Structure 1
């Protein structure tokens, strides 16, 4: 992996300019690599997401040199007009309890979260990667991997521009950040591990007076109002996040550990839940600003190995969504940084075998970083898929604020491993004794 030559167009190709791809491109460029960042759409573009950013996500955003102060656009000179809205913590609703939990005060993470629509958040990160040297090519729909004479991934094929002109891009390493569909990984035989968790989520934007809520809101129970004043419990878990622009992002998700996972109309389920919420909140058809959109949530490293044959998988393409809370952005950005580090290390090695060892080290780095935590998350998903367990947890757990603060730290993966409190020490200890999920 020497500097680009007639054989290669770049040191590394990054496919997909979502948070994981932009983070990978940013860190690869900082390491001195020449980077091609290929994005099939044109910015600004939307993505299905809750738009909520926990302190773990905020840490990754700040690490990329992006301004998250209130009122800031995030990046000078980028021409992006959106603003951040800050939140204090998580409001949990269920079992007749309404509990507001502030984000913990930690050395390792900020004490605030953010909300920002993906329609400009993703562009913000991509422009930041450009600022440090990555070359972004939009309207570049990657169609598959290229292989060298040894059958190793050495680039991609793509259709580029409005005319969808066929083109090839070559590099000694390719980082796949192409989302849940993971076309590149599938082409290399990397498929979903059905023993590991999977979810589905849908969301819709509504004009609402709750648009400036300073807590992310999580509903552990979804109730449908029936004629005669009766109510019926629906499957799944909901959220309401104020976006700060006059709208709320409202959605729900369900895990494959639920018996209802395969047999639901998720858009209808969202409507049935929202019809039972207070009318003054505005979550009605006339206030909707767009269609209901949904997508899969690949969790707990349910795609592996994360490195194989010249190809590194990042974010959703690696099944890296947190099984505890469905958060994907933080883990996309963190795995993107790990992938960039592996490619940068490989570039310095003198032999093909040494370079391959450095790239293959990405599998171990992923397991070390998140493997034990995701193993615990897999156990958690199976437990809450049992309605009886969930009812007991909601009834007896929610009224206990100390316990719920512990649960918040665990679900959001927010601890100080070295200098934290007793809760941090317990969570760190649990991960140390839990075997890691590995590729």
Structure 2
């Protein structure tokens, strides 16, 4: 166990994205002193589709974020395009989640969630780049962090919410698991009449010449005269390493109807890409005083590439475990509680993420994606089931489809 230290905070959270800000918010709600360190300054850009499912909306509601303020664009569900078909699936009506989604660009989404944490007692420092951990000489536990400007900040627990390339986790010996799927997302923005839409639109057929790729394209209206247009691809196909993603997006956009305006002249932002770490691709989620939340622990849903909801949810779970640990009086008792965190995450998501891994492995095989698109899309009932499965949107005691999905997630092994 670490020796006693003069702490700058009870908990230091590194990274003020959705995962870090949610963690900090819930820790402050529990009465802990929280220091939230962010390397950039708000507002700042982040590569994302900007679409929020009802699962993410629920988290914003739980934290008291004002989603009725200007700039939040509501949607009714998902419009699916593929196999020569186009139809609309409304978000399911559930007890646990609202029946609408949202669109908000990451240009200010992260700032809003961070500001909400600050309003609830979190101390936020922007422009602070964390370079590594401060370790206790005797135990090897992390007791703080060092920064680019040569400063040290001390705490009793540290949370890594610093994204896919997490410097902290690597410094503590936590590397990526190669048996987990990885995705890539690329996106840009266009001035377009498609900026105003009641549905998030996803295209299930991404072609590279004669090859159907495992992934999807999207068109999400932002409501400000622009549309977020992008695509996501999985590394489960043989073509993954040889694809020029930016060129693929350009070619895909050129195939769209001309009156949508997806042209170079109407582009309002450069094409940018980001990695999507999926299915708990970095483990364990706790080691020697460090907890991983969000992308740092690979908490992205492999079924649909959704990360924001799970970033905020894992942040809440981490905060609950930390708060419980701090209620114990001895260092040994606190450590025992903190060590339960990886299993709590596996109990919550492990089986479902295993199903997602099997899914992405399947669609990476030649012909599977084509078969599924051709034979699945014409059946609305099957597609409504798929929407619930891919979006992880079920009630604990819901209808037959909820029961099937929940049962599958429960029996699937978590690893």
Which TM-score bucket, shorter chain as reference? over 0.9
Residue 424 of structure 1, aligned match among 398, 402, 405: 402
Q: 2:132 aligned with 1:154, yes or no?
A: no
Change (3 A) 1:374 1:146: same
Counterpart residue number, 1:350: 329
Residue 304 in structure 1 maps to residue 286 in structure 2: no
Q: Distance in 1 between matches of 2:341 and 2:334?
A: 12
Contact 2:212-2:369 at 8 Å conserved across structures: no
Larger deviation: 425-434 or 394-403? Answer: 425-434
Question: In the alignment, does 2:187 pair up with 1:199?
Answer: no
Aligned mates of 1:280, 1:181 — CA distance in 2 = 39
Query: Could you tell me which residue of structure 2 aligns to residue 435 of structure 1?
Result: 413
Find the aligned partners of 1:223 and 1:363 in 2 and give their Cα distance: 38
Q: Is the 8 A contact 2:5 2:154 kept in 1?
A: no
Kept in 1, the 8 Å contact 2:158–2:289? The answer is: yes
Q: Hey, what's the Cα distance between the residues in 2 that align with 1:319 and 1:6?
A: 31
Cα 1:338–1:350 change in 2 (3 A) is same
Q: Distance in 2 between matches of 1:315 and 1:46?
A: 18
Worse overlay, 234-243 or 425-434: 234-243
| Secondary structure class of the residue paired with 1:172 | strand
Alignment RMSD (CA, Å): 1.4
Correspondence list, 1:233-252, <5 A: 233=211, 235=213, 236-252=215-231
Secondary structure class of the residue paired with 1:387: coil
Per the alignment, in what secondary structure is the counterpart of residue 373 of structure 2?
helix
Give the aligned partner of residue 100 of structure 1: 88
Residue of structure 1 in register with 2:7 after alignment: 8
User: d(CA) in 2 for partners of 1:179 and 1:111?
Assistant: 29
Question: Once superposed, which parts of structure 1, at least 4 consecutive aligned residues long, lie more than 3 Å away?
Answer: 231-234
Distance across 2 between alignment mates of 1:6 and 1:182: 25
Structure 2 distance, partners of 1:26, 1:352, is 24
User: d(CA) in 1 for partners of 2:212 and 2:35?
Assistant: 45
Structure 1 residues without counterparts, runs of 5 or longer:
74-82, 160-164, 225-230
Give the alignment of 1:181-330 within 5 angstroms: 181-223=165-207, 232-233=210-211, 235=213, 236-330=215-309
Q: What is the CA–CA distance in structure 2 between the aligned matches of 1:134 and 1:10, rounded to whole Å?
A: 10
Query: Do structure 1's residue 88 and structure 2's residue 67 form an aligned pair?
Result: no
Is residue 306–residue 313 contact of structure 1 (8 Å, CA) maintained in 2? Answer: yes
CA contact (8 A) 1:223 1:276 kept: no
The offset of 1:386, in angstroms, is 1.5
How much has 1:223 moved relative to structure 2? 4.5
CA distance in 1, matches of 2:404, 2:78: 21
Partner of 1:18: 17
Residue 387 (structure 1) shift: 3.0
**Corresponding residue number in structure 1 for 2:32:** 33
Structure 1 139/154 Cα, relative in aligned 2: closer, same or farther at 3 Å? same
Partner in structure 2 of residue 115 of structure 1: 103
8 A Cα contact 1:221 1:233, kept in partner: no
The total of aligned residue pairs comes to 412
Aligned match for 2:123, one of 131, 135, 141: 135
Q: Which residue of 2 aligns with 1:376?
A: 355
Deviation per CA, 1:342-398: give whole Å up to 9, x if none: 111111112221111111111111001111100100000101111311111101100
Pairwise CA distance, 1:416: 0.5
Aligned 1:381-392 pairs, distance under 5 A: 381-392=360-371
What's the CA shift for 1:222? 2.5
CA shift at 1:232, angstroms? 4.5
Give the deviation of 1:234 after TM superposition: 5.3
Query: Displacement, 1:233?
Result: 4.9
Q: Deviations over 1:57-90 (max 9, x none)?
A: 0000000001223xx14xxxxxxxxx10001100
Secondary structure in structure 2 of the residue aligned to 1:11: strand
Using the TM superposition, give the Cα deviation of residue 339 of structure 1 relative to its aligned residue in structure 2, in angstroms.
0.9
Give the gaps of 5 or more residues in structure 2. Answer: none
CA distance in 1, matches of 2:143, 2:207: 51
Query: TM-score, normalised to structure 1's length?
Result: 0.92
Q: Tell whether the 8 Å contact from 1:190 to 1:304 is kept in structure 2 after alignment.
A: yes
Distance in 1 of aligned mates of 2:388 and 2:365: 22
